[in-house]
Amino acid sequence: MPPTRSLVLPTHPLELPEVLLYISAYLPLRHLPSCALVSKTWNQVVTPLIWKEIKYCHSEHGSDVIQRHRHLIKTLDVDAVFLMRCASIRFPNLESLNVGSGYDHPGFEAFIPEHPSASLQISVWGPDCREQPGIWDMFLGFNNIKSLELKDMDFDGRDTSSIWQLCTRLERLELNNPLLKGFNRPSKEFSRIKEMALFDIRKEDGLKILELLKRCPHLTTLICKFWGTSEQNCSFFRDFARLLSEGAWSDLKAITTKVHLELDSNYISAIIRGMKQIHVLSLWGFKPHHFDLLRPHLDTITEIDLGGGSTSEMNQEILSYSPMLKRFKATYIYGTDVAEGQPWVCLGLEKLDIGFEFEPLTIHHDQPLVFDQLSKLTRIEKMSFYFGPHGFGAPKESFDFRLEYGLHKLATLRRLSVFRFYRTTQRMGMEEIDWMLNHWKSLSEVEGRFTKWSHYSDWTLRKRLENHGIKCKDYHPRDYFLRD
């Protein structure tokens, strides 16, 4: 049976819309308008791509142009000038609306998606918005709004009832650097909110944030980043942990905290006990004795970062008993623990950030076995090795990425795109570099020092990678702490 789809074929591939769509995906956006002029077929393919995302329009005329393409626009960045011109246009397929500061027009009821299943994400930034009560009533007209991001929003002394009314419809709320001085406790319950992201919360606002969280009983994901290291943050986590262990937020599966203090050991116990199922756990202050509480959750965990609080044996246990694991960050793991431990089961791991440490006497035995485990992680995209060393006792040795020691086993890591090795002592040569170029087809970034022999040889190896379009960085301790 021949493939029926291709019985009728135009003579040239560049007249097949499906092929043109692939080609246009490889063209920088700025080349698309000229492609629109080639023929009607080309025009039909590239026009939706051209109009998908529209930023501020300062052109003097032409709201009729926007009007004509309104159904193609999915992302819109607007400011006052734009609004004055386009206030009456409806955008039926809008997915994302960004409202900048300087908004001063009362009426743009029109940005309402008509498609019932469409969800809308709105970002509002700049304190200027507080001067515009009309804006919230306008957003209330959006039936499909699912996600709201508020940047630098000032809640001080204003009527927040419209905002809270809007929040009852949201699935995701993000507050970025909110000013909560005159914040009033919301009277409504936000029963649809599943994800709350709180960035750059001032240290004195912890308890106000808690009031907000109390209104979200079905929360599944909490991401929070506080400023400072004060007592007030502690009181937020104390009360949060207490409420959680008393049964609040029974759907909570993911917690990511970025706080520059170690949480009290008791709060951590209460948080882990309070979560019925754990998918994501990222916090500081974890201690080895918490691991017994975490152990029953290993089979559901997808992402874990315990801020360096887990031991090598625990890290090996996580890798051997967490089949769902996608992202894992920990400080160190001993080669011996991997070599003698259970095989890893986290075959879907995408990001690994850990320091391998080997005993000088057993490194030649253990290292090939560690390479064996790593070679099973065929879905890995980012791999970082930070050599502390953190262990006690005799001095440890770092991973040695040479072909003769087993690097060749990692030929299976075909998705690897970022490879970093910090503070390790490498003795790589051109052989290793050429091997990487041949086998790691997705490699785009390497960070670390390739060889300790000389700066010149290190430079030569770096140049070779750079000539193949791979970004190379020498390791800098500062970068380790700043990166994501």
Partner 1 sequence: MKVTLESSDGQVFTVDKEVAELSVIIKEMLVIEQANQDHPIPLLNVGAVELAKVIEYCEHHRNDPTIDDDEDYDSRKKPIEMDDWDKQFTIVNKEMMFELILAANSMQVKPLLHLGCRYAADIVKRMSPTEIRDLFQIDDDFTPEEQDKIEWEKQWTKL
Would you tell me which residues interact with partner 1 (CB under 8 A)?
Answer: 1-3, 5-7, 9, 12-16, 18-19, 22-43, 50-51, 54-55, 57, 59, 62, 65-66, 68-69, 378, 414-415, 437-438, 441-442
With respect to partner 1, which residue has the nearer C-beta, 17 or 308?
Answer: 17
- 456: phi > 0 → left, psi -120 to 50 → alpha, else beta; which? alpha
Structure tokens at 18: 């499906």
With respect to partner 1, which residue has the nearer C-beta, 41 or 162?
Answer: 41
With respect to partner 1, which residue has the nearer C-beta, 54 or 280?
Answer: 54
Q: How far is the CB of 402 from partner 1 (least distance, A)?
A: 22
With respect to partner 1, which residue has the nearer C-beta, 55 or 476?
Answer: 55
Structure tokens at 126: 């700049």
Q: How far is the CB of 70 from partner 1 (least distance, A)?
A: 12
Q: How far, CA to CA in Å, does 364 sit from each of 111, 166, 339, 340, 451?
A: 65, 62, 11, 14, 19
With respect to partner 1, which residue has the nearer C-beta, 38 or 361?
Answer: 38
DSSP strands (E only) in 405-452: 418-422, 445-447
Q: How far is the CB of 8 from partner 1 (least distance, A)?
A: 10
With respect to partner 1, which residue has the nearer C-beta, 31 or 483?
Answer: 31
Q: Could you tell me whether strands 303-305 and 382-386 are parallel, antiparallel, or unpaired per DSSP bridges?
A: unpaired
Structure tokens at 293: 């509480």
Amino acid identity for residue 159 in this structure: D
With respect to partner 1, which residue has the nearer C-beta, 85 or 258?
Answer: 85
Using DSSP's 3-state secondary structure scheme, residue 95 falls into: coil
Q: How far is the CB of 64 from partner 1 (least distance, A)?
A: 10
Using DSSP's 3-state secondary structure scheme, residue 175 falls into: strand
With respect to partner 1, which residue has the nearer C-beta, 13 or 157?
Answer: 13
Structure tokens at 433: 């570099």
Residues 6+ apart with CB under 8 A from 481: none
With respect to partner 1, which residue has the nearer C-beta, 19 or 345?
Answer: 19
Q: How far is the CB of 437 from partner 1 (least distance, A)?
A: 8
With respect to partner 1, which residue has the nearer C-beta, 117 or 438?
Answer: 438
Q: How far is the CB of 44 from partner 1 (least distance, A)?
A: 11
DSSP alpha helices (H): ranges in 63-176?
A: 63-69, 80-86, 133-140, 161-167
Q: How far is the CB of 106 from partner 1 (least distance, A)?
A: 24
Tell me the C-alpha distance between 432 and 458, whole Å.
12
With respect to partner 1, which residue has the nearer C-beta, 423 or 439?
Answer: 439
Residue appearing with tokens 């559901």: 300
DSSP per-residue codes, 331-383: EEEEHHHHHHSPPP--TT--EEEEEEEB-TTTHHHHHHHHHHHHHT-TT--EE
DSSP strands (E only) in 156-239: 172-176, 195-201, 221-226
Which letter does DSSP use for residue 203 in this model?
A: G
Q: How far is the CB of 110 from partner 1 (least distance, A)?
A: 17
Q: How far is the CB of 458 from partner 1 (least distance, A)?
A: 24
Tell me the C-alpha distance between 381 and 377, whole Å.
9
Cis before 389? omega within 30 = yes
188 CB burial (10 A radius; 0-12, 13-18, 19+): exposed
With respect to partner 1, which residue has the nearer C-beta, 18 or 404?
Answer: 18
Tell me the C-alpha distance between 362 and 332, whole Å.
17
With respect to partner 1, which residue has the nearer C-beta, 117 or 454?
Answer: 117
Using DSSP's 3-state secondary structure scheme, residue 422 falls into: strand
| Closest to 424 (Cα-Cα) out of 457, 389, 391 | 389
Q: How far is the CB of 15 from partner 1 (least distance, A)?
A: 7
Q: Could you tell me whether strands 280-282 and 303-305 are parallel, antiparallel, or unpaired per DSSP bridges?
A: parallel
Q: At what angle do helices 231-245 and 265-274 cross, to 10 degrees?
A: 30
Q: How far is the CB of 19 from partner 1 (least distance, A)?
A: 6
Task: Name the phi and psi angles at 195, rounded to 5.
Answer: -125, 130
**Among positive and negative, which fits the CA dihedral 328, 331, 335, 339?**
negative
Q: How far is the CB of 13 from partner 1 (least distance, A)?
A: 4
Q: How far is the CB of 100 from partner 1 (least distance, A)?
A: 15
